[in-house]
Structure 1
């Protein structure tokens, strides 16, 4: 009996030890896997690149909302590029573009922390694409940005396109791997953990926000689907043909709903092309900008 009791006791100790280890790992993940950099970290990063950058916050009191904006304004052109990230992510996902001297010379660059991410009300999801677009439209007006090319990756794709519907300052839209077809929205089983109360608290904050968006994304897309034909500016849709997050079939949808659409397929590439393959994306974006502002 003594041996049995001792064995059970040791087993419980081991179980608690493993639970403690898992919790430590998860808590560490909550710190590391937030996909964001502080203002100071951003300033230090770009100082090493010898690229002056500004960080500011756009506030909407009625929504108790504060949006972080990073800007690089070295160009003599009156063109503005505004970058919208996917989920989970933050404005730092666009570092590879913001530190590119060709882009710096071509246009003023603006990267945005979407609501709930980075340092824009971190953790408070804004699941409505329409509301997010209205917020970003006010942001364009506040900073008085003209000749805007709105660039969005994944979730940021339909947001960039919706912004063109909201604000005539937008002259062109680039969507990279956009999740835009409400009838072709792929379910990510991992996002269920962000919705179950028993596991939600274990998930890093950025993932919880992503899960909140993902849960209603198809419905939110359906709510704005009837307005795509009112987007008359040029739209460029770039998509990898082996995207396992946002199905490649989304290209069929954009071809049907936008009046001025160019679709470019990048062969043998997946969902990560915006940040993982900038060497492929940059020439396509620059060529698109020439089309928008030369024609």
Structure 2
């Protein structure tokens, strides 16, 4: 229920595979961040994909992607524990979207170069963080793929159970990952409104992928993308009859979408 996988568990799962993996930790302005990366052995990737999970969750949300042979054939694959989750200051809430993006910036700084593009892939709340990275560090990212992103402040929904980790006695009984998720949820609308003036700073192609049966993050968020991102190449990809959990329920289609993104860079070489 803590939604995290230890270094030991990762090693046990990945060490017998045909790809190389690393578990990295860095400290930035007093915060420790952990991420996991994979790539084919004896191959220098030309592209990096950075996966950013939703709430609650951790880097293990995308471990099946990190092992996917078609993705590994083209790119380095990186999945990060967002601040407060996994093994990145676990249990310590950072409700500022700007601050979370700032703490992930060193990953972009490490992998991005003029000859090595970075693709941001964020799901749900992670899509919001990915968008903020594209706003604040446009020189360090080349493509933004948002999967079921919660980005329109007017569409933010508070579910009855969202408040349980914040109330007595459930506060003491709830897993720490749920407490962090609740803290983020109750500040999310305000944080999204703070972001409104900055959407125009995004200057890279954006793909917004959303299931039209999403009951958690309304499908109408795609209209917000159309409104705020008309100044960049924007592709809206609707998945018929799909719910909020498209990275896992619609994995084949998501892999295909990501591969299409990667091939656009290959054609530019």
TM-score with structure 1 length normalisation? Answer: 0.85
SS at match of 2:177: helix
Contact residue 88 and residue 207 of structure 1 kept, 8 A: yes
Kindly report the root-mean-square deviation, in angstroms, between the aligned alpha carbons of the 2 structures. Answer: 1.4
Give me the whole-angstrom Cα distance separating, in 1, the residues matched to 2:206 and 2:111. 22
Gaps of 5+ in 2: none
1:95 to 63, 66, 82: 63
Which segments of structure 1 move beyond 6 Å, counting only runs of 4 or more?
A: none
1:213, CA displacement in angstroms? 0.3
Partner of 1:29: none
Give 1:71 deviation, angstroms. Answer: 1.1
Tell me if the contact between 2:52 and 2:59 (Cα under 8 Å) persists in the aligned partners.
yes
| Structure-2 residue corresponding to 1:163 | 133
- Distance in 1 (alpha carbons) for counterparts of 2:106 and 2:6: 24
Alignment partner of 2:256 out of 279, 283, 292:
283
Pick from 242, 247, 256 the counterpart of residue 274 of structure 1: 247
State whether residues 58 and 139 of structure 1, in contact with CA within 8 Å, keep that contact through their aligned partners in structure 2: no
Partner of 2:211: 240
* 2:48–2:111 contact (8 Å) kept in structure 1: no
Equivalent positions of 1:206-245 (< 5 A) are: 206-245=177-216
Number of aligned residue pairs: 260
Segments of structure 1 that go 5 or more residues without pairing to the other structure are: 1-32
Corresponding residue of 2:119: 149
Checking the alignment, whether the CA contact within 8 Å between 1:238 and 1:266 is kept in structure 2 is yes
- Residue in 2 that maps onto 1:25: none
1:13 matched to which residue of 2? Answer: none
Which of these two proteins has the greater Rg computed from alpha carbons?
1
Q: Per the alignment, in what secondary structure is the counterpart of residue 55 of structure 1?
A: strand
Q: Determine the structure 2 residue equivalent to 1:184.
A: 155
**What is the CA deviation profile of residues 135-188 of structure 1, one whole-angstrom value per residue up to 9, with x for unaligned ones?**
1113322x2433110000000001111111222120000000001111111112
User: Larger helix proportion, structure 1 or 2?
Assistant: 1
Secondary structure in structure 2 of the residue aligned to 1:123: coil
* 1:70 equivalenced with 2:70 (yes/no): no
Q: What pairs up with 1:23-172 in 2 under 5 angstroms?
A: 33-60=1-28, 62=29, 64-74=30-40, 75-141=43-109, 143-146=110-113, 147-167=117-137, 168-172=139-143
Change over 3 Å in CA distance of 1:181–1:292 after alignment to 2:
farther
Q: Are the counterparts in 2 of residues 150 and 174 from structure 1 also a CA contact under 8 Å?
A: yes
SS at match of 1:173: strand
The answer for the alignment partner of 1:264 in structure 2 is: 237
Distance 1:275 1:206 in 2: 20
